[in-house]
Amino acid sequence: MSNLLNKNLNTTNMPDKEGYFGEYGGSFVPKALQRVMDEVAAAYEEISKDPGFIEELRMLNETYTGRPSPVYHAKRLTEAVGGAEIYLKREDLNHTGAHKINHALGEVLLAKRMGKKKVIAETGAGQHGVALATAAALLGLDCDIYMGEVDVKKEAPNVSRMKILGAKVISVTTGTRTLKDAVDEAFKAYLKDPVNQIYCIGSVVGPHPFPEMVRDFQSVIGIEAREQMLRQTGSLPDAIVACVGGGSNAMGLFSAFLDDKSVEIYGVEPAGKGLDTDMNAATMHRGKKGILHGFKCYFIQDENGEALPVYSIASGLDYPGVGPQHCYLHDINRVTYESATDREAVEAFYALSRMEGIIPALESSHAVAYAVKLAKKMGKGKRILVNLSGRGDKDIDFVMENYPLTEYEPEEVMKDGYDEFLSHIQSKTN
Ligand X SMILES: *Cc1c(COP(=O)(O)O)cnc(C)c1O
User: Which residues contribute to the site for ligand X (CB under 6 A)?
Assistant: 98, 100, 127, 203, 243-250, 316-317, 361, 363-364, 389-390
Nearest distance in Å: CB 388, ligand X: 9
CA distance 123 to 200: 11
* Closer Cβ to ligand X, 132 or 414, answer by number: 132
18 tagged catalytic: no
CA distance 282 to 302: 15
Nearest distance in Å: CB 413, ligand X: 28
Nearest distance in Å: CB 84, ligand X: 23
Nearest distance in Å: CB 249, ligand X: 3
CA distance 5 to 294: 24
Q: Which of 185, 264, 389, 394 is catalytic?
A: 389
Strand 383-388 to strand 239-243: parallel, antiparallel, or no bridges (unpaired)? Answer: parallel
Could you say which DSSP state residue 62 is in? I
* Closer Cβ to ligand X, 177 or 391, answer by number: 391
* Closer Cβ to ligand X, 125 or 378, answer by number: 125
262 tagged catalytic: no
Q: Which of 91, 107, 122, 347 is catalytic?
A: 122
What are the start-end ranges of the H helices in 23-155? 31-47, 51-60, 75-81, 100-113, 127-139, 149-154
Give Cα 280 distance to the centre of its chain.
17
401 tagged catalytic: no
CA distance 242 to 365: 10
* Closer Cβ to ligand X, 177 or 394, answer by number: 394
CA distance 236 to 227: 9
Q: What is the dihedral of CA 365, 366, 369, 370, to 10 degrees?
A: -150
* Closer Cβ to ligand X, 60 or 130, answer by number: 130
Nearest distance in Å: CB 340, ligand X: 13
* Closer Cβ to ligand X, 206 or 247, answer by number: 247
Kindly provide the b/e burial profile for residues 268-283, where b requires at least 16 CB atoms within 10 angstroms of the residue's own CB: bbbbbbeeeeebbbbb
Instruction: Indicate the residue whose CB is closest to ligand X.
Output: 390
Q: Give the Cβ contact number of residue 373 at 10 Å.
A: 18
Q: Which of 27, 69, 91, 100 is catalytic?
A: 100
Contacts of 340 (CB under 8 A, 6+ apart): 268, 270, 271, 348, 365, 366, 367, 369, 370
Nearest distance in Å: CB 51, ligand X: 28
Give the catalytic positions in this structure.
Answer: 100, 122, 389
